[in-house]
């Protein structure tokens, strides 16, 4: 992969994503699309999956993006660099560690030409997340809620 390192504006699509409610709605919408892909991938005639199984498989599938603001991600990156990841547990702890690893690798690959802020902006704007970083309970709740809404229509 050929990467050219230049300083890009920090607003590379992230400023518009800054609203937490917008990001949350987008995450929910994209998570539900992942749930539909899990269901659609089942072979014809296979036993139906339980809500918890669909939600769990979708939650662990790759997500199109990270659903975090630049400012909060920068604070968490600095915290992990300063204190390590021991104090950040659960799915979001994995998220922060994954972002920190990608940012660090990008800065190192650039030979120091890329600042942490610009590397973070690129990770948030251009990189896919390895999962949705949802707890099983949250994934089940989101999927179950969507199913109820669908049945009401």
DSSP 46-107: PPPPPHHHHHHHHHHS-BSS--S-HHHHHHHHHHHHHH-STT--HHHHHHHHHHHHHHHHHH
Q: What is the pTM of this model?
A: 0.82
- Tell me which DSSP letter residue 21 carries: H
Distance of CA 3 to the CA centre of its chain: 22
pLDDT at 3: 39
pLDDT at 85: 74
What is the spatial distance between Cα 151 and Cα 146, in angstroms, rounded to a whole number?
Answer: 9
pLDDT at 150: 81
Sign of CA dihedral 120, 124, 129, 134: positive
Distance of CA 61 to the CA centre of its chain: 10
pLDDT at 153: 66
How far, in Å, are 45, 58, 104 from residue 12 at the CA level? 46, 28, 19
pLDDT at 151: 80
pLDDT at 5: 34
Helices then strands, counting H and E runs in the chain, come out as: 6, 0
Can you list the residues of the chain whose pLDDT is less than 70? 1-18, 86, 153
């Amino acid at each position: 992969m050929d990467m050219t390192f230049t300083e890009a504006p920090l607003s590379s699509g992230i400023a518009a994503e800054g609203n937490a409610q917008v990001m949350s709605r987008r995450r929910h919408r994209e998570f539900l699309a992942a749930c539909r892909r899990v269901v659609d991938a089942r072979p014809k005639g296979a036993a139906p999956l339980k809500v918890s199984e669909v939600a769990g498989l979708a939650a662990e599938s790759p997500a199109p993006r990270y659903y975090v603001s630049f400012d909060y991600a920068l604070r968490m990156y600095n915290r992990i660099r300063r204190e390590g990841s021991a104090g950040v547990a659960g799915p979001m702890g994995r998220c922060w560690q994954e972002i920190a690893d990608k940012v660090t690798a990008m800065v190192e690959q650039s030979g120091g030409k890329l600042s942490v802020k610009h590397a973070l902006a690129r990770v948030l704007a251009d990189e896919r997340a390895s999962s949705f970083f949802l707890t099983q309970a949250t994934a089940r709740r989101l999927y179950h809620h969507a199913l109820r809404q669908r049945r009401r229509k």
